Amino acid sequence: MDYELSDDDAGPVLPTAVKILIAGGFGVGKTTLVGAVSDTKPLRTEEVLSEQGVGVDDLSGVEMKATTTVAMDFGRISFGDDLVLYLFGTPGQDRFWFLWDELALGALGAVVLADTRRLADCFPSVDYFERHRLPFIVAVNSFDGARNYGLDEVKMALNLDSEVPVMLCDARDKESCKEVLIALLQHVMKGRGVGRARQPVRS
């Protein structure tokens, strides 16, 4: 997705609407994040976990989870009057990965949600975005009772490039989710060399 020049030729500006992916492992909080931050009632494609998932879906650490996303979650959030983000939550299980290429088409960037109790579950998301050269950040979702790790420890464990931001978040809290999205936009703008062309994104 290209940036357009403003009428006064002052420099590149963000498009009016952008597509963002919310990815991560099974049960990490993608549906929760989209629902918490969306300005509108989110579209969800959740189904009740069934016997077909026994032995396939790993419920370790999320034993109380009763539903799963089978296609995507969709929501939207506006920042000021000139920027709208369309959020697409990806399914977390391996058997739904065939949907990822369609969901990623035209995306500006991605948020990879991580759970320190199941950190390896976000490796496939990290690998996918690195392979497709899609800018992303990692947001560590704060689960009650989970062991606290330093962000540098998380970055090292995931073998991330030094420029990939890692931050804490609470997927249940709208303000926390907005901070994650703002961090992603700033990361994308920095990578495209437009960080000095505009004022910081307004929340």
CB contact burial 102-130 (16+ within 10 A = b; e otherwise) = ebbeebbbbbbbbbbebbebbebbbebbe
The helix (run of H) or strand (run of E) holding residue 24 is: strand 17-24
Largest CA distance in the chain: 60
Which strands make up the sheet holding 83-89, listed edge to edge?
A: 43-48, 67-79, 83-89, 17-24, 109-114, 136-141, 166-169
The pLDDT, as a whole number, for residue 195 is 46
The pLDDT, as a whole number, for residue 93 is 59
CA-only gyration radius of the chain, Å? 17
* Strand, coil or helix: 139: strand
What is the assigned CATH class of domain 4-191?
A: alpha beta
How much is the average pLDDT of 93-119? 85
pLDDT in tens, 133-154: 999 999 999 887 777 889 999 9
| 200, pLDDT greater than 60 | no
| 128, pLDDT greater than 70 | yes
Average per-residue pLDDT for the chain: 79
Q: Is 137 in contact with 176 (CB distance < 8 Å)?
A: no
| 196, pLDDT greater than 70 | no
pLDDT in tens, 20-30: 999 998 889 99
* Residue type at 135 in one-letter notation: P
Tell me how crowded residue 101 is: count the other CB atoms within 10 A of its CB: 10
Eight-state DSSP code of residue 146:
P
Query: Domain residue spans in the chain?
Result: 4-191
pLDDT in tens, 48-94: 444 554 444 454 544 444 444 445 788 999 988 889 999 999 886 56
